[in-house]
Amino acid sequence: MAVQAPPVRGPESTIVQWMVALAALLALLLAMDTLRIFGNAQLSGGIVRLDSQYFYALFALLLPMAFVCYPTKRWIDWPLALLSVGVLMYFFINAERALDEAWEFSVPESGAYIALGLWLLVLEALRRAGGTALCLIAAFFSCLPLYTMYMPGPLNGLPASWQETAAYHSISIESIFGLPFQAFASLVIGFVVFGVVLQHTGGGRFFLDLAFAILGRQRGGPAKVAIVSSGLMGSMSGSVVTNVLTTGQMTIPAMRRAGMSGPVAGGIEACASTGGVLLPPIMGSTAFIMATLLELPYAEVAVAAALPALLYFISLYLQIDAYAGKYNLAGLTDEELPTLWQTLKQGWFYLGAFALLIFLLLYLKREALAPYYATAVLLLLNQMSPSQRLSADGWVKLLSATGFLLIELIVILAGVGLIVGALSLTGLSGTLVNDLMSMAGDQLGLLLLMGALTSFVLGIGMTVTAAYIFLAVVLAPALVGQNLAPLSAHLFILYWAMLSYITPPVALGAYAAASIAGASPLQTGFAAMRLGSVIYVIPFIFVLDASFILAGSVLGTMQAVVEALVGIWLITGALQAYLPLVGHLKQAGLRFCLIFAGLAIALPDLTLALPHGPDNTIHLFGGIVFAAAGLLWRWKTTSPHA
């Protein structure tokens, strides 16, 4: 997800901004009308009677804008925009007939050609909004039913004609308008609006000031501020790169002034922004799609994701504290910091809106309505604040930013839907799962490593949302087939798809931070990888131990958390060659010993039967022995009497 507008031609920029703002406003009204926010008297007057009509109408408002927001040539862009409106209106008008006559299986000849047109329009919009790589992947898989009979084993499935394929893609609820699109239409839109409104009303500045007021005096204070502020804003915006380019403009210079090197400052911001997308309550758009695929309330997904995300941020905090202790970095002075009382006085309503959102999500379980009510309260209170009140131009910018984000998301989700639809039509969804399981045999560890590598690679070439949806169909069932909890398996995929943002050679989040820090992109990428190293371990912890997603007993969860905290304390201290409460760790052998001990303590046992729960007794004992031996060695070698 991203909230920054794509580049548009100079003379048309204002016109496009107004058009996008209008499209966003109409899309929001349509979504709220469908959710009956305005009561039983629908604004649409009963014109939208079917879910499929709602999907076509929503897509007709947003898809055409992709061709003018991501332009090539005027004589191509505008005709494509008008053509997409015509195609979608055709399906909107004929939605009831298509349902009665099952067009997805037997479409009229004219409907087949129009369905083919929608298929091609989605691919072209995906090329513009999602990039050439994602477009080529979607094109290859969406056409798979046409040549699957010629493909080797894993990709050899049931063939279909182009008419059947086009109809299935454009009319069924398994492809373009499949579960990802449905999650967008019912859940994601409201949370997108809340995140954009929070940013455009000054929420980013408030959370940054609040973090400075609370943490700024600690050693390495600006870096710890970056963790909190970027984590909170990343959860709202859902975009790693956008979050780096917004909050990083303030946190990275502050970290540099505190004495941190450019690569380290950029790496910290990249790690915090990456973790923000994994942090409830919003977690970007992917968590809502996850809830839809798993047929779970979104609140259940958010609660399960909370503990792993907090563990990651605690590991970041410990890394920074160790780094600051190693280099004797002091915090900021009182003169450089805002006061807590003044910060809360000026921006209390941000916390109020945030609290209302969490209350509606977790207590009342009104996932679809919660963001709209929270946004309404936030806008109402914001307009009463003289310093943050939106002007007429501010409203247009707010709506256009919302529109740009909705356009990008809906195009990517529709494009990924083509991939899922093709796998469903050819019957390859289950075949690929069986192939994966046969390759891994009964080795759960091998299957997890294969899944981690696949998720990471796809996270490089595709957006996180796209990679997650593809792997949720192909890989997640194989993991669940090994007696893993479905929610753990899906979170495992999401975490590993996110890791490409801080792992060279791509590391887009780190490279964006490097541009602000004035540092080498590659050095910043490796610094981010080192600082966020625990995130490579956390998915294996919660996928093997359901206690980490709060699915076990309270006592089991407490034990698992304590073991993980001790483990990451040892690992982060060893990585920075400084262990808080102990001091400097100069010996390389000692650091290796502590890393091994930390992994042994934190990780569940891979070898024991999962239905009975992982038993970490042997590893725990071994880890404690290694850690104690290493620390005793350090005490003896540094003792003045040694």
138 and 195 in a single domain? The answer is no
Closest CA to 4 of 518, 512, 626, 448: 512
| Beta carbons of 41 and 66 less than 8 angstroms apart | no
Residue 346 resides in a domain: yes
3-state secondary structure 470-539: HHHHHCHHHHHCCCCCHHHHHHHHHHHHHHHHCCCCCCHHHHHHHHHHCCCHHHHHHHHHHHCHHHHCHH
The first and second tokens of residue 4, run together, are: 């920054």
Q: How far is CA 128 from CA 108, 141, 166, 353, in A?
A: 31, 18, 21, 35
Res 147: pLDDT: 93
- Residue showing tokens 């703002």: 21
159 and 233 in a single domain? The answer is no
164 and 185 in a single domain? The answer is no
Residue that is last in its domain, among 122, 155, 178: 178
Res 609: pLDDT: 35
pLDDT tens-place string over residues 474-520: 888 888 888 888 999 999 998 988 888 888 877 888 999 999 999 99
Closest CA to 512 of 323, 249, 260: 249
Residue 185 resides in a domain: yes
Residue that is last in its domain, among 128, 153, 178: 178
Determine the longest span between alpha carbons in the chain, in angstroms: 92
Phi/psi at 579 (nearest 5 deg)?
-110, 115
357 and 230 in a single domain? The answer is yes
Res 79: pLDDT: 95
109 and 20 in a single domain? The answer is yes
Residue 516 resides in a domain: no
CA pair distance 203, 233, nearest whole angstrom: 8
Name, in order, each residue with C-beta under 8 angstroms of 185's C-beta and a sequence gap of 6 or more. Answer: 31, 34, 54, 55, 58
Domain encompassing residue 603: 577-642
160 and 200 in a single domain? The answer is no
124 and 225 in a single domain? The answer is no
| Beta carbons of 208 and 308 less than 8 angstroms apart | no
Buried/exposed 596-621: b ≥16 CB within 10 Å, e otherwise = bbbbbbbbbbeeeebeebbebeebbe
171 and 314 in a single domain? The answer is no
pTM (2 decimals)? 0.85
From the CB of residue 93, how many other CB atoms can be counted at a distance below 10 Å?
A: 12
Res 638: pLDDT: 67
143 and 159 in a single domain? The answer is yes
| Beta carbons of 395 and 215 less than 8 angstroms apart | no
The first and second tokens of residue 379, run together, are: 């806008």
CA pair distance 263, 339, nearest whole angstrom: 30
172 and 234 in a single domain? The answer is no
169 and 186 in a single domain? The answer is no
Residue 228 resides in a domain: yes
- The CA-to-CA distance between both ends of the chain, in Å, stands at 57
- The low-confidence residues of the chain, meaning pLDDT below 70, are 1-12, 38-46, 237-238, 284, 434, 437, 440-442, 461, 605-617, 619, 636, 638-642
| Beta carbons of 116 and 107 less than 8 angstroms apart | no
Cα 135 from chain centre: 20
Number of domains in the chain: 3
Residue 372 resides in a domain: yes
Residue 95 resides in a domain: yes
89 and 161 in a single domain? The answer is yes
Residue 470 resides in a domain: no
The first and second tokens of residue 368, run together, are: 């679809």
Residue 365 resides in a domain: yes
Residue that is last in its domain, among 138, 163, 178: 178
| Beta carbons of 433 and 151 less than 8 angstroms apart | no
| Beta carbons of 332 and 213 less than 8 angstroms apart | no
The first and second tokens of residue 457, run together, are: 């690679």
CA pair distance 21, 616, nearest whole angstrom: 55
Q: How far is CA 175 from CA 162, 179, 579, 606, in A?
A: 15, 8, 52, 37
